[in-house]
Amino acid sequence: MLDILRRLVQAVTEAENLDDALNIIVTRIKATMQTGVCSIYLLDDKTGCWLLMATDGLNPSSVRIASLCKNEGLVGSVGTRGKLLNLEDAPKHPAFRFLEETGEEIFQSFLGVPVVHQRETLGIIVVQQTTRRRFSGDEEALLVTVAAQLSALIAHAKISGRLYLQTDTGENPKDIRFKGAAGISGITVGTAVVRKPPAYLKHVKDGKTDNPDHDIGEFQAALAEVKVELERIGESLSGHLQHEETVLFDTYLRMLEDHTLGGEVCQRIRSGENAPTALKHVVLDLVTRFEAMQDPYLKERGTDLKDLGRRILSKLLRYGDELLKYPDDAILVAEDVTPVMLGEMDAGSLLGIVSVKGSANSHVAILARSLGIPAVMGAVDLPLADISGVKMIVDGWRGEVVIEPSEMILKEYQYAVRDAENLASELLRISDGPATTSDGYRIHLLLNSGPFGELLERQRSWIDGVGLYRTEFAFLSRSRFPTEDEQEIEYREELATYSPMPVVMRTLDIGGDKGLPYFSIDEENPFLGWRGIRVTLDHPEIFLTQTRAMLKASVGLNNLRVLLPMISTLEELRASKLLVDRVVHELLSEGFVIKPPQVGVMIEVPSAVYMADELALEADFFSVGSNDLTQYILAIDRTNARVSDMFDSFHPAVLRALRQVCDSGRARDIPVALCGEMAGDPMASALLIGLGFDELSMSAASLAQVKRTLGEFSLPECRELATKAIQSTSGHEVIQVMADAMMIRGLSLLVPPGLRE
């Protein structure tokens, strides 16, 4: 059975469109089960009826014609009850309804099973036979297994194949929606420009050279051409970008110059491979290594590399440069939109971006944000082949693309655009100075600083420092561990940028979804494995080097605070503090003028919540990582799309943990911050202050909205809301309480992208 299934799934995956996929299913099942008929009915979203979509055994001309209402017939009965039906004598069943056009009158026995995807019944697979018999347990099991295996494929094919290509009147259907991740906020309407990669590395057939010097020359010439091209694109974009973001193009250029890429290719050419073959192997090998990592940032490096490789290949193969002509209202759409593709477009006519792959963390997203262009990332079901030149709405707030929008939907979106514009202009009017509640209670807003300094000058007066500097970036952007000196330079830049404000630097937090290409951690359950402080305590040399670099970087600035990730026991805190003390003594004896830094604990594991009283006695401050704390309290893998709609930081179980941490911190008089995504969600702002947080640390993009929101609530109101929320029984209830409180105050419920999906 496994073999049958494997082959069936393979064939369906390779099918060109929905009809082909369904036909393969019915033909194979009929043959395997040796029945008279196998048919598939799918729910027609427009009519709410079960429409016959494919059959082997019934009258083929009834396909897409024969249909049954939601509760009608045996099919309707399977569909509404969501349970299989196995009948020896189907016509005798009270629900039986004869479909004349199908010619099914000769069939007696009936076995129907629902095809369910994400709790929704998409359709029904039916087998029928002329003889009167009950289908065996094995046959039931086979059909149920097939239905379960195929449901996701059918769901995908149904969307991407645009199930109902023609309406009854022969028009194209309107308002077809595709979900993605909210990339860059904003909404726009434009014409899809679908871009293909310049050349495919995978299509290169392996070949040899008998003149390696010639091939090396060709490769180097191609490399140089791409370099010139990238420099030109970087320059053309630089007028639209802040200085820091042009770093992306420098990164590309550095990748080209990096001896690992060029050196390895030349080495392979010298050993006999021709240039395209050598390039293919080196690039694809590197890409595979990057893509195998779960860390979204590193995955993006894989995408960058692939794009670079394709560009060099297209030069090697002497592909002519495509003459690019775009409409004035272009929406750039591609399997994997790259920064270079962006750079090739005229920034004036580029209205939106849609990428089938990628996430809100990708380089393209960072660039799009600086250009102020709405983007939807990870729109996995988008049928790229069909949508060139099509009108589309890009909704970067909700992470949605609407193809061929109707007048009605366009109007609706225009209202949303107006709301978003109102919000944006309100946010522009926010005054200078620190955040307070409406009754003047001072709140510390802190910055989660990233590798691309995104803080605008006017935002500086709103913050009291950096609440989270993720040092992983210094490690992720290299092909080996950074040296103490290299780290010191990066940390010093960060500390100096925000001096005299304090900067919280987190020690290396790898493991879980963050891997290093040169230090692989392969585990069955990485989130419950070797992560954060567990890794660096097992490798004190990494920890010692890093803290030495941090402390040396703080000489003369003295604004460093050290934060320990993933602490789950008191012993880990003690062991880490001993190492920090050791570094302090070492550096003092080496003559460095340093002060012992404050050492804080990230509270992101349930055991740390329950041990918060004890931890608070020995830590200088707490910072709650709500991303991980939510994941561990609710047992929802934060990277698993299948359960992502259950990831809910507003869940009362999470809020009760937060309250406990605040109470423990307060009792021992240490500051308690929150630095996960929740801190930047305006819907959570008043709630978090009410729970007792002193500091909220968020990305620059969230500061304005959080500051504005807090200014509308008094401290007693915040506390009252927190009490109400804690007593709620679900995250939904909490959101409702907060949404009501915001609406009464005329606050927008629009949220920064990536939050509260």
Q: Which residues are near ligand PEP by CB under 6 A? A: 468, 470, 509, 604, 625-628, 675-676
Distance CA 79, CA 89 (A): 19
- Which of residues 228 and 635 has its CB atom nearest to Mg ion in the complex? 635
- Which of residues 282 and 504 has its CB atom nearest to ligand PEP in the complex? 504
Which is it for the CA torsion 649, 653, 657, 659, positive or negative? positive
Residues 726, 498 contacting (CB under 8 angstroms): no
- Which of residues 604 and 637 has its CB atom nearest to ligand PEP in the complex? 604
Q: Is 325 exposed, middle or buried, given 0-12, 13-18 or 19+ CB atoms closer than 10 A?
A: exposed
- Binding-site partner at residue 561 among Mg ion, ligand PEP, none, CB < 5 to 8 Å by type: none
- Binding-site partner at residue 470 among ligand PEP, Mg ion, none, CB < 5 to 8 Å by type: ligand PEP
Distance CA 26, CA 52 (A): 12
Nearest to 467 by CA among 609, 672, 262, 669: 672
- Which of residues 274 and 699 has its CB atom nearest to ligand PEP in the complex? 699
Q: What is the DSSP letter of 401?
A: E
Q: Which residue has the tokens 């029904």?
A: 124
Residues 256, 308 contacting (CB under 8 angstroms): yes
Closest separation between CB of residue 619 and Mg ion, Å? Answer: 16
Q: In what helix (H) or strand (E) does residue 182 lie, and over which residues does it extend?
A: strand 181-184
- Binding-site partner at residue 494 among Mg ion, ligand PEP, none, CB < 5 to 8 Å by type: none
Closest separation between CB of residue 573 and ligand PEP, Å? Answer: 17
Distance CA 565, CA 675 (A): 12
- Which of residues 344 and 677 has its CB atom nearest to ligand PEP in the complex? 677
Q: Which of 363, 444, 662, 718 is catalytic?
A: 363
- Binding-site partner at residue 238 among Mg ion, ligand PEP, none, CB < 5 to 8 Å by type: none
Residue 463's SS3 state is: strand
Residues 606, 635 contacting (CB under 8 angstroms): no
Q: Which of 38, 49, 662, 675 is catalytic?
A: 675
Residues 104, 58 contacting (CB under 8 angstroms): yes
Residues 559, 498 contacting (CB under 8 angstroms): yes
- Binding-site partner at residue 676 among ligand PEP, Mg ion, none, CB < 5 to 8 Å by type: ligand PEP
- How many H-runs (helices) and E-runs (strands) does the chain carry? 25, 23
Neighbours of 455 (CB within 10 A): 19
Closest separation between CB of residue 680 and ligand PEP, Å? Answer: 11
Distance CA 493, CA 503 (A): 11
Question: Within a 13 Å sphere around the CA of 744, how many CA atoms are in the beta-carbon half?
Answer: 9
Neighbours of 136 (CB within 10 A): 12
- Which of residues 435 and 658 has its CB atom nearest to ligand PEP in the complex? 658
Sheet containing 85-87: order of strands:
67-68, 50-56, 37-43, 120-129, 109-117, 85-87
Closest separation between CB of residue 634 and Mg ion, Å? Answer: 15
Parallel, antiparallel, or unpaired for β 85-87 and 109-117?
antiparallel
Closest separation between CB of residue 155 and Mg ion, Å? Answer: 32
- Which of residues 364 and 678 has its CB atom nearest to ligand PEP in the complex? 678
Residues 110, 89 contacting (CB under 8 angstroms): no
Decide if 214 is catalytic: no
Closest separation between CB of residue 527 and ligand PEP, Å? Answer: 10
- Which of residues 251 and 627 has its CB atom nearest to ligand PEP in the complex? 627
Q: What is the DSSP letter of 243?
A: G
Closest separation between CB of residue 447 and Mg ion, Å? Answer: 17
Closest separation between CB of residue 248 and ligand PEP, Å? Answer: 21
- Binding-site partner at residue 626 among Mg ion, ligand PEP, none, CB < 5 to 8 Å by type: ligand PEP
- Binding-site partner at residue 277 among ligand PEP, Mg ion, none, CB < 5 to 8 Å by type: none
Closest separation between CB of residue 568 and Mg ion, Å? Answer: 12
**How far, in Å, are 366, 370, 456, 667 from residue 244 at the CA level?**
11, 10, 12, 42
Nearest to 757 by CA among 700, 666, 677: 677
Cα angle, residue 304 at apex, residues 300 and 308 outer, rounded to 5°: 165
Q: What is the DSSP letter of 582?
A: H
Closest separation between CB of residue 473 and ligand PEP, Å? Answer: 11
One-letter amino acid for residue 200 of the chain? Y
Closest separation between CB of residue 399 and ligand PEP, Å? Answer: 19
- Which of residues 154 and 633 has its CB atom nearest to ligand PEP in the complex? 633
User: Of 606-665, which residues contact Mg ion (CB under 5 A)?
Assistant: 625, 628
Parallel, antiparallel, or unpaired for β 621-624 and 391-395?
unpaired
Distance CA 410, CA 312 (A): 42
- As given in the structure block, the two tokens for residue 449 are 């600083």
Helix locations, 275-382, DSSP H: 275-291, 296-316, 339-344, 363-371
Neighbours of 713 (CB within 10 A): 25
Closest separation between CB of residue 565 and ligand PEP, Å? Answer: 7
- Which of residues 628 and 648 has its CB atom nearest to Mg ion in the complex? 628
- Binding-site partner at residue 675 among ligand PEP, Mg ion, none, CB < 5 to 8 Å by type: ligand PEP
Distance CA 81, CA 230 (A): 58
Closest separation between CB of residue 736 and Mg ion, Å? Answer: 28
- As given in the structure block, the two tokens for residue 464 are 């009291």
What is the chain's Cα-based Rg?
A: 29
Which is it for the CA torsion 394, 395, 399, 401, positive or negative? negative
Helix locations, 206-293, DSSP H: 212-238, 247-257, 259-270, 275-291
- Which of residues 164 and 527 has its CB atom nearest to ligand PEP in the complex? 527
Decide if 675 is catalytic: yes
Q: Is 378 near Mg ion (CB under 5 A)?
A: no
- As given in the structure block, the two tokens for residue 393 are 């709405």
- Which of residues 361 and 558 has its CB atom nearest to ligand PEP in the complex? 361
- Which of residues 625 and 682 has its CB atom nearest to ligand PEP in the complex? 625
Helix %, strand %, coil % of the chain (to 5): 50, 15, 35
- Residues belonging to the active site: 363, 675
Q: Which parts of this chain interact with Mg ion (CB under 5 A)?
A: 604, 625, 628
